[in-house]
Amino acid sequence: LSHYVKLFSFHAKMPMEKKAVEMVERCLDKYFQNLCNDLEVFAAHAGRKTVKPEDLELLLRRQGLVTDEVSMHVLVEQHLPMEYRQLLIPCAFSGNSVFPAH
């Protein structure tokens, strides 16, 4: 969890108290719990036992992060580093092959 706390203090651009750090960790825990429950519901609704990228996209859409103007690929491009972007966004290569294939 310390990774995300570091990110928090990076985005907050302010020093913070130790107690506030504990609070952030508890919020993250809560957030993970909600996230897992939501993903379970979405996957069960589609009749699957596997959580697919579509479920994550639906989740982000319901959180108001993915909208009609801002698609998920835009968010991926803005926030994730290059090597993860290559894994997530389909891109045409030579020989008319698309990676990752859908």
Site residues (CB under 8 A) for other proteins?
A: 3-4, 6-24, 27-28, 30-43, 49-53, 56-60, 62-65, 72, 75-76, 79-81, 84, 87-88, 100
Asked if 85 and 77 touch (Cβ cutoff 8 Å), the reply is yes
Considering the complex, state which of residue 68 and residue 83 has its C-beta at the smaller distance from other proteins.
Answer: 83
Considering the complex, state which of residue 63 and residue 98 has its C-beta at the smaller distance from other proteins.
Answer: 63
CB of 55 to other proteins, least distance (A): 8
> Within 13 Å and on the Cβ side, how many CA atoms surround 44?
6
Contacts of 6 (CB under 8 A, 6+ apart): none
